[in-house]
């Protein structure tokens, strides 16, 4: 299937799976197949933002997940919360953990993908590696366990580029299962959806100033993750070993 052949059919159920709501934030478990925000065409209005706005009229988007990616998505309920959360995402204050099933097995059990990315403009929304003009893009990965057709990996994206995890895993030689943009036909045919899930996000609450975390179970694996603090600390230790400063990736 090509991009031109794409027909948007977002899942009707679950319609809006809420994880948490207060006067400042809304946290949902976005299903695979649902846009984070409306597309340009009228047929692409249905999205996580649109569904949330029907219940919470003032919500706004502070980050996005790819349509095919499932998992934790945070929205702001007022201007102050939007400003506070947007600053956190821009300055790498948020901590995010994803899980993916890969088509194949990486050569190393863990590592860092420090590969700059840029939009492949003639073929957008595809992204590509560009060592001269690409934006710095950093991902820490760790192999968790064997899964059907490949391996389950834990991913900590330090930066948040479009399609970052998908391109980095392809560059590792093990694209994400079910990825219609970056993996071979055999990978796409093996599963019914992209095997990528935003499992946990940690950030500072815009009112209380305290760190909070929200998680959603991995829909394509029985694996039960460790606490985010433990796995994020391990990712940071890998960066230290490679003399990589997170501050260098703040624009």
User: Hey, where are the domains in the chain?
Assistant: 8-249
Structure tokens at 213: 């975390």
> How many Å apart are CA 121 and CA 13, to the nearest integer?
34
Residue 220's DSSP bridge partners are none
Helices (runs of H) and strands (runs of E) counted in the chain: 5, 12
Q: How confident is the model at residue 3 (pLDDT cuts 50, 70, 90)?
A: low
The residue written with tokens 């039960």 in the block is 224
Q: How confident is the model at residue 17 (pLDDT cuts 50, 70, 90)?
A: very high
Q: Give how far Cα 33 sits from Cα of 46, 122, 126, Å.
A: 11, 24, 17
Residue 243 a catalytic site member: no
> How many Å apart are CA 89 and CA 8, to the nearest integer?
28
> How many Å apart are CA 60 and CA 76, to the nearest integer?
5
The residue written with tokens 């975390």 in the block is 213
> Which residues, 6+ apart, have CB-to-CB distance to 163 below 8 Å?
66, 117, 125, 126, 127, 181, 182
Helix%, strand%, coil% for the chain, nearest 5: 25, 30, 45
User: Tell me: the pLDDT tens digits for 220-250?
Assistant: 999 989 888 888 888 888 989 888 887 777 6
More confident residue, 28 or 1: 28
> How many Å apart are CA 39 and CA 18, to the nearest integer?
22
Backbone angles phi, psi at 44, to 5 degrees: -105, 25
User: Tell me: the pLDDT tens digits for 128-183?
Assistant: 999 999 999 999 999 999 998 889 999 999 999 999 999 999 999 999 999 999 99
Structure tokens at 32: 């695979």
Are 44 and 35 spatial neighbours (Cβ–Cβ below 8 Å)?
Answer: yes
pTM: 0.93
What pLDDT, on the 0 to 100 scale, is given for residue 42? 86
Q: CA 113, 104, 155, 71 torsion: positive or negative? A: positive
Nearest 5°: the CA angle 238, 200, 227 is 65
What pLDDT, on the 0 to 100 scale, is given for residue 4? 60
User: Tell me: the pLDDT tens digits for 72-119?
Assistant: 999 999 999 999 999 999 999 999 999 999 999 999 999 999 999 999
Rg of the chain taking only CA atoms, in angstroms: 18
**Marked catalytic residue, from 5, 66, 120, 130:** 66
> How many Å apart are CA 199 and CA 101, to the nearest integer?
13
Q: Give how far Cα 38 sits from Cα of 10, 99, 199, 200, Å.
A: 12, 25, 23, 24
CATH superfamily of 8-249: Pseudouridine synthase (3.30.2350.10)
Structure tokens at 204: 């500072």
What pLDDT, on the 0 to 100 scale, is given for residue 1? 47
């Amino acid at each position: 299937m090509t991009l031109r052949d794409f027909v948007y059919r977002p899942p009707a159920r679950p319609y809006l799976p809420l994880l948490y709501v207060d006067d400042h934030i809304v946290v949902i478990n976005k299903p695979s197949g649902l846009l984070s925000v409306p597309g340009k065409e009228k047929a692409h209005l249905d999205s996580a933002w649109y569904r949330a706005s029907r219940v919470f009229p003032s919500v706004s988007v502070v980050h996005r997940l790819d349509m095919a990616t499932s998992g934790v998505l945070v929205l702001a309920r007022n201007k102050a919360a939007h400003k506070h959360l947007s600053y956190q995402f821009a300055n790498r204050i948020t901590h995010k953990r994803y899980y993916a099933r890969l088509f194949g097995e990486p050569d190393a059990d863990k590592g860092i993908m420090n590969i700059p990315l840029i939009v492949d403009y003639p073929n957008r929304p595809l992204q590509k590696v560009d060592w001269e003009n690409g934006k710095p893009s950093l991902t820490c990965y760790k192999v968790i366990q064997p899964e059907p057709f490949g391996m389950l990996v834990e991913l900590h994206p330090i930066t948040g580029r479009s399609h970052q995890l998908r391109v980095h895993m392809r560059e590792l030689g093990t694209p994400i299962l079910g990825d219609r943009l970056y993996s071979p036909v055999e990978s796409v045919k093996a599963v019914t959806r992209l095997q990528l899930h935003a499992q946990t996000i940690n950030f500072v609450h815009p009112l209380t100033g305290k760190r909070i975390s929200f998680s959603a179970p991995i829909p394509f694996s029985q694996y039960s993750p460790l606490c985010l603090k433990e796995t994020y600390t391990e990712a940071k230790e890998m960066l230290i070993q490679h003399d990589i400063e997170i501050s260098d990736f703040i624009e």
